[in-house]
Amino acid sequence: MMKKSKFSLSTTQIILLSFIITILLGSFLLALPVSTVSGKSVCYIDALFTATTSTCVTGLVTLPTVTTWSVFGQIVILCLIQIGGLGVITVMSGVMIMLNRKMGIEDRLLIQDAFNLNTMSGLVKFVKKVLFGTLLVEGLGAIFYMFVFVPDFGVKGIWISIFNSISAFCNAGIDIISENSLCDYATNPIINTTTSLLIILGGIGFIVWWDVLRVIKKRTKGIKNTIKGLTLHSKIAISATLFLILGGAVLIFVFEYNNPATIGNMSLFDKIQVSLFQSVTTRTAGFASIPQENLTNASSVVSIILMIVGGSPVGTAGGIKTVTIAVLLFSSFATIKNKNNASLFNRTLSVYSIRKAVAVVTFFVIIMLSSVILLSATTNASMLDAVYESASATATVGLSRNLTSSLNDIGKIIIIFTMYLGRVGPISLAVALGSNSMSQNIISEPTEEICIG
């Protein structure tokens, strides 16, 4: 029996390393003169920042994408967005499938860890469905965008439509339309609807896709019976997504209703659609249809909360994730009500799920607060701007209150690390830095009660 090398990497470490390699390769390409409109190389820190925000599908940019990067540079950025959105391992697995290469157990373990799945059953089929579904949705999104962008930009509108569709589905928030993101199209129903649907479909999670399609194929009669047929994961993800989008939109609508710098001077219909878009885009997408620095303090706080929650697991979105927050909240409610078990939709939540939710939230908060403290110490940013920027970077959102473009080199490095840590996931990082051994203590340590709260 061959002895295992002590330098062998775990699947989690391979995933984390694959993102670093992709970022470094992307930064090298973006640092080339051919990547810029001017034909002159940009500062490497900006190339590294752009490669990181693209691969981590964040959207924060130190240089305006539309005026800085050439077509070659934009293609590099788009490739990084697609790779980052689906995951490096997923893209590599897709290439192996196209080349008819057989996947070994190590390849399957990588896919399982990349998607945070609980089983290795049907992984190859899962990857095929993910890739096909992604191309289909992105293709349809590009077609709908063309109805607006082709008349506005001519033939160039085709490229803009493709770029925007991929960026929206991957929840990246990077565009090549203008320096003010989608503000010029704030009241355009086609752009708002298409972008919102792409963001939601990418962020809801692939598992929910297949579960909904499975229930639809059964041709279950009635909405109530259809909902009952869904798995617990899908029920939580869908209900939490609807609650956050509608709840966030209502609050933003109320807080911004009389704000002339955002929606105050718009018609009632436009106020509603802009409020809805703001609620959707803060869920880790990062497209801006109104200047974020013009939001009231109340709306900024609501946006920060939405950014922190983010999308759902096994999708292209970031954040703590809807399912994680739901598990943590209902576990807390159960404790308050002095119940032995926490339940959701008449299903008992496992202790492992609750412990993992606590760990995810804890590490997320540590990363975000560390970023806030470091930004506050190294820049002249206000507390609200620093929190907004750090939340956006940790949750891989990409919205900024005009702070990103004014960051010094130290601030850029802080945000680069924050975006990376937010994308790979706090738990993945902890596992990768820890021991590869999964052994548990045979002898339990003594138990002692402590005071909580």
Sequential pLDDT tens for the chain (453 residues): 444 444 466 667 777 888 899 999 999 999 999 999 999 999 999 999 999 999 998 989 999 999 999 999 999 999 999 998 887 667 766 666 665 666 666 656 666 655 656 566 667 777 888 888 899 999 999 999 999 999 999 999 999 999 999 999 999 989 999 888 999 999 999 999 999 999 999 989 888 888 888 888 876 666 666 777 888 888 999 999 999 999 999 999 999 999 999 999 999 999 999 999 999 999 888 899 999 999 999 999 999 999 999 988 877 888 899 999 999 999 998 888 888 888 888 888 888 888 888 888 988 999 999 999 999 999 988 999 999 999 999 999 989 999 998 999 999 999 999 999 988 865 555 555 454 444 445 455 676 666 666
* Contact present, 423 and 59 (Cβ < 8 Å): no
* pLDDT for res 394: 93
* pLDDT for res 312: 87
* pLDDT for res 95: 65
Nearest to 267 by CA among 288, 253, 286: 253
Q: Name the DSSP class of 185.
A: G
Q: Which residue is it, tokens 């929206």?
A: 168
- Which whole-number Å values give the CA distances from 189 to 173, 269, 271, 276, 432, in the listed order? 18, 10, 12, 11, 44
Within 10 A of 92 (CB to CB), how many other CB atoms are there? 17
Amino acid at 6: K
Cβ-Cβ contacts under 8 Å for 325 (sequence gap 6 or more): 240, 309, 357, 361
* pLDDT for res 335: 87
Amino acid at 178: S
* pLDDT for res 437: 45
* pLDDT for res 393: 94
* pLDDT for res 260: 95
d(CA 333, CA 329): 6
Reading the block at residue 17, the tokens are 């390393």
Within 10 A of 224 (CB to CB), how many other CB atoms are there? 9
Nearest to 390 by CA among 361, 422, 432: 422
* Contact present, 245 and 279 (Cβ < 8 Å): yes
d(CA 274, CA 283): 15
Residue ranges of alpha helices (H) inside 154-296 are 156-169, 189-204, 206-217, 223-228, 232-256, 268-281
d(CA 57, CA 79): 11
